[in-house]
């Protein structure tokens, strides 16, 4: 009986919305992840330069560092970036509840990003409608989780926050937000615009209003599926473009 209960619990978990293997799953149906699709865009040149620079800086900082420690430096930086992303999500959640997180409780390396977020909030005064909202496009079979949906000056925006040293926004945010807008509207949430927000280490922000173009995202999605057609076949994912 116990074994049957375990199997039943496992099936219940699989029936819930979840994310694994580059896909979101709903009722055992795979929906390709928006961010996974955008990995098809080649960023290898910039990534290799960044990777090499982190190794170089680690050696400059400590000439006695071991080879293993030097090669680990880029991964440590990546872990730090993930921590920044988690912090931003906490800030958004607190803001939705009408609270602010005291920077005195934050590690010093995150304070600039926290200040940048609140600078943006004070300037734009968003009325948060949704945060960390996972949405599915049944029309095109993709899914994603958007940082924020908020009303600003009477208009509803889907908003994505990026943290980086300089607060610059990369082009990939344009198809990303276009996909989120499509999925949100399929789920009855009218979106008037898309907004990317870059939060910089020094507390400054970069805000960009983005003209949505779903076609660019769908083109990337088609290419991703073509390149990964064997994996898609194994998982039962079928491209659905109309």
What domains, with CATH codes, occur in the chain?
Answer: 32-235 (3.90.320)
Segment among 15-19, 64-68, 218-222 with least mean pLDDT: 15-19
Q: Where are the beta strands (DSSP E) in 77-225?
A: 127-137, 142-152, 155-164, 193-200, 205-210
DSSP, collapsed to helix, strand or coil, labels residue 23 as strand
- The pLDDT of residue 84 is above 90: no
What percent of the chain clears pLDDT 70, i.e. is strictly above it?
Answer: 79
What percent of the chain clears pLDDT 90, i.e. is strictly above it?
Answer: 55
Instruction: List, for residues 191-212, the tens digit of each pLDDT value.
Output: 999 999 999 999 999 999 999 9
Mean of the per-residue pLDDT values of the chain: 83
- C-alpha Rg value of the chain to the nearest Å: 20
Average the pLDDT over 20-42 and give the result. 90
Instruction: List, for residues 33-54, the tens digit of each pLDDT value.
Output: 999 999 987 554 455 554 576 6
- pTM of structure: 0.78
The whole-number pLDDT of residue 66 equals 80
User: Which tops the pLDDT comparison, 111 or 1?
Assistant: 111
The end-to-end CA distance of the chain, in Å, is 47
CA dihedral 184→216→81→68, nearest 10 degrees, is: 140
Query: Is there a contact between 135 and 146 (Cβ–Cβ < 8 Å)?
Result: yes
Question: What is the pairing mode between strands 142-152 and 29-33?
Answer: parallel
What is the rounded CA–CA span in Å between residue 115 and residue 113? 5
**Dihedral (CA of 223, 228, 233, 236) sign:** negative
| Element of type H or E holding 15 | helix 2-15
Q: With cut-offs at 50, 70 and 90, classify the pLDDT of residue 1.
A: very low
Residue 231 corresponds to which tokens in the numbers above?
A: 């994996």
């Amino acid at each position: 009986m116990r074994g049957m209960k375990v199997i039943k619990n496992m099936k219940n978990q699989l029936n819930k919305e979840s994310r694994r293997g580059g896909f979101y799953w709903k009722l055992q149906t795979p929906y390709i992840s928006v961010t996974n699709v955008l990995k098809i865009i080649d960023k290898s040149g910039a990534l290799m330069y960044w990777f090499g620079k982190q190794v170089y800086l680690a050696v400059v900082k400590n000439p006695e560092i071991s080879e293993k420690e030097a090669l680990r430096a880029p991964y440590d930086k990546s872990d730090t970036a993930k921590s920044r992303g988690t912090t931003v999500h906490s800030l958004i959640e607190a803001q939705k509840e009408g609270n602010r997180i005291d920077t005195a409780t934050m590690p010093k390396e995150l304070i600039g990003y926290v200040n940048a977020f609140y600078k943006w909030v004070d300037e734009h005064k968003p009325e948060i409608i949704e945060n960390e909202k996972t949405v599915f496009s049944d029309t095109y079979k993709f899914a994603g989780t958007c940082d924020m949906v908020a009303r600003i000056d009477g208009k509803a925006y889907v908003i994505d926050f990026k943290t980086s040293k300089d607060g610059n926004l990369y082009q990939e945010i344009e198809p990303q937000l276009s996909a989120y807008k499509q999925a949100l509207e399929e789920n009855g949430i009218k979106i008037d615009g898309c907004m990317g927000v870059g939060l910089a280490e020094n507390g400054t922000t970069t805000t960009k209003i983005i003209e949505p173009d779903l076609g660019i995202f769908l083109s990337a999605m088609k290419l991703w599926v073509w390149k990964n057609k064997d994996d898609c076949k194994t998982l039962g994912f079928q491209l659905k473009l109309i």
